[in-house]
């Protein structure tokens, strides 16, 4: 599918899918719990559907209707009779591998072409150290796992990755003794918060998290807050076109709100108010107005809190005077695409002055972007970033493969259009 986007102004109250990271974890923790859980405002994105399908193949009842899932679990998993297919979703594959490492049976996890080219040794290695048998194909999927009989480890992760940390902590639930993970920069902490809220305490100190094996999460009932990484596209659309954007019931966990902090540093008006707590996670209202006026430099310690929003930072950088630089973001090279190459190529074809660096990029602004034919390259976040670029580029911008957006935000085009964006599907 193609989208055609033309200059237009975006403003208003945004409607968002439930947070994707919380969606994966809610389904998995509900499956680990014995009993019935209800998850409201579950994202309808394809990645979440992949997690639900894998859990069903492991004998868990997952009924999903109208954005609410009911999970019925015996608190244990059955050996799957077929491969578990994680689709495009790294979170599904990596977190589930942690749970499967604790199960006394064989399973095989595979994914689409993009996921099959992404690094899996980063989870296979610590899970092997805990006692699981984990086979990979040259460090990539498919993953063959024979689990059970795990023991706790003290693991220093070489990457600041919540998926790696979560895989180890989830395996730690099934391990004897204590499992500790230390990471180089603090990544999103949803697994720690949710496990603790559901009765399996995770001790956190700085970049270190530890868990004692043997507990099980309790079943729960939760309405998930909106996804800040999806909100970021609509907020950037408002900031770049002069409209105020308000998101109610948004996840406001600090390990996820790096993009709001960058907007404020670039000169936009940002106001966040936490008004509730959902399974250990702060949620509330975010209002963003004004516009971006100055460039930013982003360094490695800030990267995990806005890793998925960095393509948008590149776009914002094209519209302010000076050099916006991102460093310490080499992880972008192993996302759904090499997001450094994909972002640089796509924005250059719209006329941006942007250079790739080994672990980030430099953008020199301001430039007047010009509409062109561009490709999303099979990457959901690229598709949405290009749609936002099309709102400020002269003429019209045609985005090929735009339906990649369905991976995380199936209603994105409709929502952008409802808020005033001129965007049509061709
Ligand atoms: C996620 C962690 C991040 C992020 C991804 C979701 C998660 O990946 O990019 O979209 O839910 O744990 P890494 O753990 O690889 O940094």
- pLDDT tens digit sequence for 128-179: 999 999 999 999 999 999 999 999 999 999 999 999 999 999 999 999 999 9
Q: Calculate how far, in angstroms, residue 24's C-alpha sits from the geometric centre of ligand 1.
A: 11
Burial grade of 2 (CB within 10 A; 0-12, 13-18, 19 or more): middle
Report if pTM > 0.95: yes
161 lines ligand 1 (CB under 6 A): yes
Write the residue with the smallest CA distance to atom 5 of ligand 1: 91
Task: Write out the catalytic residue numbers.
Answer: 308
63-115 tens-digit pLDDT: 999 899 999 999 999 999 999 999 999 999 999 999 999 999 999 999 999 99
331 lines ligand 1 (CB under 6 A): yes
Assess contact for 404 and 382: CB atoms under 8 A.
yes
Run of H or E including 203: strand 202-205
Write the residue with the smallest CA distance to atom 3 of ligand 1: 162
230 lines ligand 1 (CB under 6 A): no
Q: How confident is the model at residue 209 (pLDDT cuts 50, 70, 90)?
A: very high
Q: Calculate how far, in angstroms, residue 334's C-alpha sits from the geometric centre of ligand 1.
A: 11
If you ran DSSP here, which 8-state letter would residue 351 be given?
T
Q: Calculate how far, in angstroms, residue 163's C-alpha sits from the geometric centre of ligand 1.
A: 5
CATH 3.65.10.10 in the chain: give the residue spans. 2-17+225-425, 20-222
CATH 3.40.50.2300 fits domain 2-17+225-425:
no
163 lines ligand 1 (CB under 6 A): yes
Q: Calculate how far, in angstroms, residue 18's C-alpha sits from the geometric centre of ligand 1.
A: 16
Q: For residue 408, which atom of ligand 1 is closest to its CA?
A: 10
Write the residue with the smallest CA distance to atom 13 of ligand 1: 161
Q: Which segments of 46-120 are extended strands (E)?
A: 61-65, 68-74, 84-85, 106-110
Q: Calculate how far, in angstroms, residue 91's C-alpha sits from the geometric centre of ligand 1.
A: 6
Residue 323 is predicted with a pLDDT of 98
Q: How confident is the model at residue 266 (pLDDT cuts 50, 70, 90)?
A: very high
91 lines ligand 1 (CB under 6 A): yes
What is the crossing angle of helices 121-129 and 162-173, to 10°?
30
- The share of the chain scoring above pLDDT 70, in percent, equals 100
Q: CA 75, CA 64: separation in Å to the nearest integer?
A: 19
Residue 303 is predicted with a pLDDT of 97
Q: How confident is the model at residue 216 (pLDDT cuts 50, 70, 90)?
A: very high
Assess contact for 94 and 168: CB atoms under 8 A.
no
Q: Which of 46, 160, 162, 328 for mutating ligand 1's site (highest number of atoms within 8 Å of CB)?
A: 162
Q: For residue 165, which atom of ligand 1 is closest to its CA?
A: 14
The CATH code for residues 20-222 is 3.65.10.10
Q: CA 414, CA 422: separation in Å to the nearest integer?
A: 10
């Amino acid at each position: 599918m193609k989208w055609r986007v033309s200059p237009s102004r975006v403003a208003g109250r945004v409607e968002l899918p439930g947070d994707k990271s919380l969606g994966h974890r809610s389904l998995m923790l509900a499956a680990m719990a014995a009993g019935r859980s209800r998850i409201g405002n579950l994202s309808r994105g394809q990645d979440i559907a992949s997690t639900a399908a894998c859990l069903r193949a492991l004998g868990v009842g997952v009924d999903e209707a109208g954005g609410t899932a009911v999970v019925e679990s015996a608190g244990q998993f059955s050996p799957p009779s077929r491969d578990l297919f994680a689709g495009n979703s790294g979170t599904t594959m990596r977190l589930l591998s942690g749970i499967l490492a604790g199960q006394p049976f064989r399973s095989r996890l595979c994914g689409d072409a993009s996921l099959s080219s992404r690094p899996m040794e980063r989870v296979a290695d610590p899970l092997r150290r805990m006692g699981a048998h984990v086979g990979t194909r040259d460090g990539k999927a498919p993953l063959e796992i024979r689990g059970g009989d795990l023991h706790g480890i003290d693991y220093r992760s070489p990457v600041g990755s919540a998926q790696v940390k979560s895989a180890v902590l989830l395996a730690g639930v099934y391990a004897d003794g204590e499992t500790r993970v230390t990471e180089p920069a603090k990544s999103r902490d949803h697994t720690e918060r949710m496990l603790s809220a559901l009765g399996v305490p995770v001790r956190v100190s700085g970049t270190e998290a530890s868990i004692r094996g043997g507990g099980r999460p309790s079943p729960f009932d939760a309405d998930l807050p909106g996804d800040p990484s999806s909100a970021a596209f609509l907020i950037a659309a408002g900031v770049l076109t002069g409209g105020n954007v308000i998101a109610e019931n948004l996840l406001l966990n600090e390990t996820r709100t790096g993009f709001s902090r960058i907007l404020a540093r670039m000169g936009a008006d940002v106001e966040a108010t936490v008004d509730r707590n959902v399974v250990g996670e702060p949620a509330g209202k975010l209002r963003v107005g004004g516009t971006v006026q100055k460039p930013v430099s982003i360094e490695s310690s800030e990267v995990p809190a806005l890793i998925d929003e960095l393509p948008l930072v590149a776009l914002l950088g094209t519209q302010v005077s000076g050099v916006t630089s991102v460093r310490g973001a080499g992880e972008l090279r192993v996302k759904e695409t090499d997001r450094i190459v994909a972002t640089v190529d796509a924005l250059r074809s719209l006329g941006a002055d942007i250079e790739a660096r080994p672990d980030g990029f430099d953008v020199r602004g301001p430039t007047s972007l010009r509409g062109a034919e561009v490709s999303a390259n099979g990457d959901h976040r690229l598709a949405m970033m290009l749609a936002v670029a099309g709102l400020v580029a002269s003429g019209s911008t045609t985005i090929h493969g735009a339906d990649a957006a369905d991976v995380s935000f199936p209603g994105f085009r409709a929502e952008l259009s409802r808020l005033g964006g001129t965007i049509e599907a061709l």
